[in-house]
Amino acid sequence: MATLSAGKRMKSAVCATEIMVIAAPDGEVDLCCGGTAMGDGESNGGAVDADHADGTAIGKRYVNEDGSLEVLCVKAGEGSLSVGGSALNVKDAKKLPKTD
């Protein structure tokens, strides 16, 4: 469990995934990757849980069901993201025209 705020970067303990928080609800959030809590540190030597092994993709944004949590994947990995056991989903990117 950790308190998240926009701009915070976190690493997976079981794969190469790294994320940056874009928006987060108040209070503690149980953000996991590959089924294990994400943190600031290095690998814990564990393995990706088979139920959370869909992988993350660089540059994709992931959101929880009510949209209160949004993270950006800045480094891809084999684990997939979840909060309290529920998987985060890729946020559909609205296609915007190029402006600059």
Partner 1 sequence: MNTMMLLEMAMSGFGDRVAFTDPADGGSSITYQELYDAAGAAAHDIRESGASRVAMLDVSNIAVPVALFASGWAGVPYVPINYRLTGEEIDALLARVTPAYLVTDDERLPHFQDRDGVDARSRGTFLGAARSGDGHAEQRSMDPEDVGVLLFTSGTTGIPKAAVLRHKHLVSYIVSSVEFMSAAEDEAALVCVPPYHVAGIASTLSSVYAGRRVVQLANFSADAWIETARHERITTAFVVPTMLSRIVDALEGEKTAGMSHLQSLSYGGGKMPLSVIEKAMALFPDTDFTNAYGLTETSSTITVLGPDEHRAAATSEAEEVRRRLVSVGIPLPGIEIEIRDDEGNALGTDQRGEIYVRGEQVSGEYEDRGSTVDTEGWFPTRDAGFLDAEGYLFLDGRADDVIVRGGENMSPGEIEDVLLAHDAVRDAAVVGVPSEEWGEAVAGAVVVNSDTPANDDLIADLQDWVRSHMRSSRVPESIAFWPELPYNETGKLLRRVVKAKLTAPAQNVRAAMPLLYVADIERSRAFYCDQLGFTLTNRWDADGRLNWCQLEMEGATIMLQSAEPDDLGGLRNGHGDVALFFLCENVDDLHEQFTGRGVDAPPPTVAFYGMRQLSVRDPDGRELCFEHPVSAA
- Amino acid identity of residue 8, one-letter, is K
Instruction: Please provide the DSSP assignment of 9-68 as one string.
Output: EEE-SSSS-EEEEEE--SSEE-EEETTEE-BSS---S----GGG-S-B-TT-EEE-TTSS
Segment interacting with partner 1 (CB under 8 A) among 29-37, 42-50, 80-88, 90-98: 90-98
- CB nearer partner 1, residue 50 or residue 94: 94
Q: Which of residues 2-61 bind partner 1 (CB under 8 A)?
A: 6-7, 9, 20, 22, 58-61
Note the residues at the interface with partner 1 (CB under 8 A): 6-7, 9, 20, 22, 58-61, 72, 74-75, 93-100
